Amino acid sequence: MRVEWPTLLLIFACYAAWLAALFLLPELSLAAAIVLCTLGITLHSSLQHEVTHGHPFNERRLGEMLVFGSLNLVIPYLRFRDTHLAHHMDARLTDPYEDPETNYLDPAVWRTLPRWVRRALAFNNTLLGRMAIGPLVGQIAFMATDWRLIRAGDRAARDGWLWHLPAFVVVLAIVTLSPMPLWAYALSIYLGLAVLKIRTFLEHQAHERASARTVIIEDRGPLAFLFLNNNLHVVHHMHPKLPWYRLPRIYFNNRDKYLRRNDGYRYASYAEIFRRHLTRAKDPVPHPLYPDP
């Protein structure tokens, strides 16, 4: 049995921090509790991503038992797993219909939207907008898509939400028993999802060549840790079985190769992304390369 100990230990450390935020910090400082809870929810989502790709065990179901209950309460693990693995079909990246994680829209659909919706989605394409309204926009789109699938008889979508219910109850019961108010936990969820939106903001771009659609952000700071080095996104897409703690060495030892592969789609840090795109969109909402009859 292969065991990736750094990942396994980090899972337990994440739960310890989350429990400390719920049961210890609220009596000392509710603001500090919200901050730590936000970080725990963010890191837990990153750990769910690791488990989806077969870490820390070679038997994925063992890892799933450790992270099945989503601390963010709103995204069922099974639905995240299935949609994320579909997203890893690189030939489909950024396709408005085939890539479940894209923010691009079919230009024909974009033209039919009410003006206020287009304005909201345009704001959502700035980093500030992605953090401020992105969690709400993303959740509405995610749930609307799954509801259509369920109504069409998709058993995976239905079962993903049904299995989520008992995990939801367990996590919510723990929160309810803690000194943290429910409104503070709800705020932590939104803030955690907002932090995750920093990672996904420009992970992929519209490009004729599939290999050039995925970004490299050469950040080694706190956000890179929270995202478990998924900012080195080309490396992750090329080697999804590599654990998070091996990605930096693989990338920096072969930097030129990966930058040639993605046609130099690179940022030096998340600070650079904040400077360039906090209030200025990087991409249009309608897919610039999508057929527009």
How many domains are contained in the chain?
1
Task: Give the integer Cα–Cα distance in Å for 159 and 276.
Answer: 41
Residue 261: inside a domain: no
User: At 15, is the secondary structure helix, strand, or coil?
Assistant: helix
pLDDT given at position 291:
82
Count of Cβ atoms closer than 10 Å to residue 89 Cβ: 13
Residue 53: inside a domain: yes
**DSSP conformation class of 282:** S
Among 10, 38, 1, smallest CA distance to 194 is for: 38
Residue 292: inside a domain: no
Q: Give the pTM.
A: 0.96
Task: Give the integer Cα–Cα distance in Å for 99 and 83.
Answer: 8
Residue 255: inside a domain: no
Residue 11: inside a domain: yes
pLDDT given at position 2:
85
pLDDT given at position 292:
73
Please list the rounded mean pLDDT of every run of 10 residues in the chain (293 residues): 92 98 97 98 98 94 96 98 94 95 96 97 98 98 97 97 98 98 98 98 96 97 98 97 97 97 97 98 94 74
Residue 288: inside a domain: no
Task: Give the integer Cα–Cα distance in Å for 257 and 254.
Answer: 6
> Which domain covers residue 36, as residue numbers?
5-202
Residue 23: inside a domain: yes
The label of the residue with tokens 């049961």 reads: 23
User: At 216, is the secondary structure helix, strand, or coil?
Assistant: strand
Residue 243: inside a domain: no
What are φ and ψ of residue 228, in 5° steps?
50, 50
How many residues make up the chain in this entry? 293
